[in-house]
Amino acid sequence: MSETLPDSRARNGATILMGAGGVWVPVFCANCGKDGGMVPEQNMTFAFWLCAPCAETHGAIAGMLMLPDEVFWERVKQEQLEAHGRFLTEQELVAVVEADASPLATLINERR
């Protein structure tokens, strides 16, 4: 029997913010409630996030890949440099994800 992880996205619609690339929803640590940044609302039906202190305290979740944010973003940076020779703008990253036809898009979409 699989366990269902809690959704870490904000439930209060008043906290949804408009920004470049559409509507963004705040995310909070599923254990302590620490602010965890934001995720795009479009095509996002679930987000689970643990802050580093809670992840260290409680350990890995069985059957889940735990990748620190720093490691993930370093992989995104390296893929941008390898494929494009530079860091992409936010608008360019949105276009890459929407096209969903490159290793960079796959990497970013894995994080969703």
Domain final residue pick, 63, 79, 102 = 63
Tens digit of each residue's pLDDT (9 = 90 or more) over 27-74? 899 899 999 888 877 767 888 888 889 888 988 777 776 667 777 778
Residue 11 has pLDDT above 70, yes or no: yes
**Token digits for 31?**
């254990």
- Letter string b/e over residues 47-79, b meaning 16 or more CB atoms within 10 A of that residue's CB: bebbbeebbeeeeeeeeeeeeeeeeeeebbeeb
- pLDDT at position 1 is 39
Give the range of the structural domain holding residue 59, as residue numbers without chain letter.
Answer: 1-63
110 vs 73 pLDDT, higher one:
73
For 76, the token pair is: 């995104």
Residues 50 and 72 in one domain: no
pLDDT for the residue 20 = 60
Task: Identify the domain boundary among 47, 63, 79.
Answer: 63
